[in-house]
């Protein structure tokens, strides 16, 4: 197992099926604020469904098509980041993130996403990383802006949540842009 320090009291590490109980407890704390934006939040409601969600990501990892990582603050799972999709053939990935209220306002998501961008665009050599967010999720939009992503456009009424159609923004970072940002930092 590996751990990446995000702050003195926070770390990023793989989130795996054997952690389903901890994951479910975290989702129970986070569900009200993440359910509209993270599709599996509304279906991971008991131990079996939470384990199934984590197993889907374990399967994606084994086929190199996605991954999920947790963020622990003082030893408690408070959120995470993921490669929703990871397409080595096409050179494109999509990154997502979520957090419960205890993890907000500390820059943990932004720092964790930086690590995923480094992994995808530098280490693995993908060309494009995408970030999709609902237009009613300003915190997610703020992460994309802090990372210097470019807003490619808005897909009107592209998704539905509990009978309401929501617009989605698509942001991107290209590998040459990311390398240039890192070189100037």
For residue range 60-115, list pLDDT tens digits in order.
999 999 999 999 999 999 999 999 999 999 999 999 999 999 889 999 999 999 99
> For residues 97 and 72, what is the distance between their CA atoms, to the nearest angstrom?
14
Strand partners, 69: 14, 81
Report residue 178's pLDDT band, with 50, 70 and 90 as the boundaries: very high
CA angle in degrees (0–180, nearest 5) for 22-47-7: 20
Please determine, for residue 116, whether its predicted confidence score (pLDDT) is greater than 80. Answer: yes
- 38 membership: H or E segment, kind and range: none
> For residues 50 and 40, what is the distance between their CA atoms, to the nearest angstrom?
9
pLDDT at 1: 57
Report residue 133's pLDDT band, with 50, 70 and 90 as the boundaries: very high
Domain 4-184 has CATH 1.10.357.10: no
pLDDT at 163: 81
> For residues 158 and 131, what is the distance between their CA atoms, to the nearest angstrom?
15
- pLDDT tens, 11-50? 999 999 999 999 999 999 998 888 777 777 888 999 999 9
> For residues 21 and 75, what is the distance between their CA atoms, to the nearest angstrom?
15
Report residue 184's pLDDT band, with 50, 70 and 90 as the boundaries: confident
Q: Phi and psi dihedrals of 89, rounded to 5?
A: -60, -45
- CA dihedral sign of residues 112, 115, 119, 120: positive
Rounded to an integer, what is the distance from CA 175 to the centroid of its chain? 18
pTM: 0.94
């Amino acid at each position: 197992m590996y751990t990446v320090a995000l702050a003195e009291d926070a770390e990023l590490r793989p989130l795996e099926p054997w952690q389903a109980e901890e994951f479910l407890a975290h989702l129970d704390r986070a569900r009200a604020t993440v359910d509209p934006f993270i599709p599996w939040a509304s279906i991971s409601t008991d131990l079996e469904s939470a384990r199934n969600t984590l197993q889907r990501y374990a399967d994606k990892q084994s086929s190199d098509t996605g991954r999920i990582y947790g963020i622990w603050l003082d030893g408690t799972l408070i959120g995470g980041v993921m490669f929703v999709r990871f397409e080595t053939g096409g050179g494109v990935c999509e990154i997502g993130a979520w957090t419960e209220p205890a993890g907000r306002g500390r820059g943990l998501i932004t720092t964790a996403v930086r690590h995923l961008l480094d992994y995808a665009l530098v280490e693995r050599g993908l060309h494009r990383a995408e970030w999709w967010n609902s237009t009613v999720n300003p915190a997610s939009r703020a992460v994309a802006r802090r990372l210097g992503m470019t807003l490619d456009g808005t897909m009107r009424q592209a998704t539905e949540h509990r009978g309401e159609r929501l617009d989605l923004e698509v942001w991107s970072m290209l590998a040459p842009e990311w390398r240039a940002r890192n070189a100037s930092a």
